[in-house]
Amino acid sequence: MPDPTCPPSPPAVVIGAGPAGLMAAEALAQAGLAVEVFDAMPSVGRKFLLAGVGGMNITHSEAYPAFVGRYAERQREIDALLRGFDADALRQWIHGLGIETFVGTSGRVFPSDMKAAPLLRAWLKRLRDTGVVIHTRHRWLGWSPEGALRLAYPQGERRVEAAVVVLALGGGSWARLGSDGSWQALLAQRAVDIAPLQPSNCGFEVEGWSALLQQKFAGAPLKNIALSVPGSPPRKGEFILTAQGVEGSLVYAWSAAVREAINRTGQGQLLLDLLPDKPVDKIAQALARPRGSRSMARHLQGQLGIDGVKAALLRELTDQATFANPDALARAIKALPITLVRTRPLDEAISSAGGVRFEGLDDGLMVKGMPGVFCAGEMLDWEAPTGGYLLTACFASGLRAGRAAAHWLALQASGNCP
């Protein structure tokens, strides 16, 4: 029987019911703790579910050295998390939920049915079967003067005592799904070290496209092209021309480098290769062939297959002298500079950079100076490209924070009660 002189411990509390928060809750429950999860939205995992629209890319199959290199400046910190739960471990964990996975032609890993909802349903069932209690429509407001968690819910405000807290509140993108970054002010009041949130995997704006380009080609995809930033090798893929600038998967791959260039100098640059499979000398030879009475537009189309949005963008970004010189035009076709002056708004971005700096956390992701408070997921100061890297690090950080919180709590409890 329980010792009546040792009252039950308050629950372990997780704020945020995305992948990181739910993984932390699972780790805490596996340690034998009573766990309560609070989320501001009417249902859990909303960003996770939306990310699965069109195919749930859960992780990536590439070799570990390349995989961990995707985390750039935070490679060392994310490596420490992935050592405890890497892409292979994540796939095995998914299989344990009864969901099979497969590797696509790009190396990306997907659930067998390509959907997020069945995975989330199976996971929530397992969490509830282990006693995890999930509260929706509960928005975290910080702490009371006595140290209790303040939570706004439809009936007013409640205060919850917690034995330990894991914060997994997301970044600042897709605010309508719950990750609005409002936690920054609450943690700043406690002097937590936070890097400002910025867009990541985002679109960019130019100073202004011509009216013709906007009216005829906004929304048009550019396919079978390559992009680079100055000094880096190009990557093949596709992107989309927008009324304001550019967006799409290939733009997102360079978003961190372009954003930081804009932060430093006020502008960034992408170099567009319109014909990545054709060398510049062959392009120059094709352009130098007599065109007779044909217009340059017809000549480009006939000799090189450049037409539509590609031809329009080439005309938009080259001057008349370049257009009239086959050698200069060939060089432009291979490295057409697109000057970008700002990111699209943070709320439109797929993810965010910035957040709680690792320098302000211990190895278990506990906030220094705030015993018993841990952070996980996208609210930490890291970023990664799309391709499964974002989700993998969120899962790994949630697991680390949950396990570390359980271990810390066990250390605190040792010697106090039998």
pLDDT digits (tens, 9 = 90+) for 117-162: 999 999 999 999 999 999 999 999 999 999 999 999 999 999 999 9
Comparing C-alpha atoms, which of 359, 395, 350, 377 is closest to residue 194? 359
Q: Does the global pTM surpass 0.75?
A: yes
- Mean pLDDT in residue range 270-292: 92
Please state the domain extents for the chain.
Answer: 12-200+348-413, 204-343
The mean per-residue pLDDT over the stretch 107-125 comes to: 95
pLDDT score of 43 more than 60: yes
| Mean pLDDT of all residues belonging to the chain | 93
Element (H, E) at 126: helix 117-129
> In this predicted structure, what is the pLDDT of residue 394?
97
pLDDT of res. 415: 58
User: What is the DSSP code (8-state) at residue 358?
Assistant: G
To which H or E segment does residue 71 belong?
none
Region 298-310 average pLDDT: 91
Q: State the pLDDT confidence band at 207, using cuts at 50, 70 and 90.
A: very high
Tell me how far apart the alpha carbons of residues 55 and 406 are, in angstroms, rounded to a whole number.
Answer: 34
186 is written with which tokens? 């609450």
User: Do the beta carbons of residue 374 and residue 364 sit within 8 Å?
Assistant: yes
| Per-residue pLDDT reduced to its tens digit, 343-357 | 999 999 999 999 999
Can you tell me which residue has the tokens 């278990």?
A: 364
Rounded Cα distance between 369 and 172, Å, is 24
CB atoms within 10 A of CB 90: 23
User: Which tens digits make up the pLDDT trace of 383-407?
Assistant: 999 999 999 999 999 999 999 999 9
Closest CA to 16 of 359, 389, 376: 376
- A 10 A CB-CB count for 190 gives 12
Q: How far is CA 339 from CA 10, 246, 310, in A?
A: 55, 10, 16
DSSP character at residue 132 = -
Can you tell me the distance from the alpha carbon of 353 to that of 296, in angstroms, rounded to the nearest whole number?
44
Report pLDDT for 6.
54
Instruction: Kindly state the percentage of the chain with pLDDT values over 90.
Output: 87
Q: Helices H, strands E: what count in the chain?
A: 16, 20
Q: Which residues contact 327 (CB under 8 A, 6 or more apart)?
A: 284
- Round to whole Å and give the CA distance between 395 and 58: 10
Average confidence (pLDDT) over 250-262: 96
The band of 418, judged by pLDDT with boundaries at 50, 70 and 90, is: very low
For residues 113 and 272, give the distance between their C-alpha atoms in angstroms, rounded to a whole number.
35
Whether the pLDDT of residue 222 is over 70: the answer is yes
Which pLDDT does position 8 carry in this prediction? 57
pLDDT at 18 over 50: yes
Contact 352, 172 (CB under 8 A): yes
> What would the mean pLDDT of 64-69 be, rounded to a whole number?
97
- What is the structure's pLDDT at 81? 98
The pLDDT assigned to 4 comes to 46
Output the pLDDT for position 179. Answer: 87
Task: Round to whole Å and give the CA distance between 295 and 396.
Answer: 58
pLDDT at 5 over 80: no
Q: Does the pLDDT value for residue 192 go beyond 60?
A: yes
- How far is Cα 183 from Cα 16, in angstroms, rounded to an integer? 11
CA distance linking residue 339 with residue 298, whole number of Å: 27
Domain 12-200+348-413 has CATH 3.40.50.10420: no
- pLDDT for 1 equals 40
DSSP state of 44: S
* Structure-token pair, residue 230: 């100055």
- For strands 373-375 and 164-167, give the pairing: parallel
Q: How confident is the model at residue 379 (pLDDT cuts 50, 70, 90)?
A: very high
For the cut 70, the answer to whether the pLDDT of residue 50 exceeds it is: yes
Residues whose CB is less than 8 angstroms from the CB of residue 293 and which lie 6 or more positions away in sequence, other chains included: none
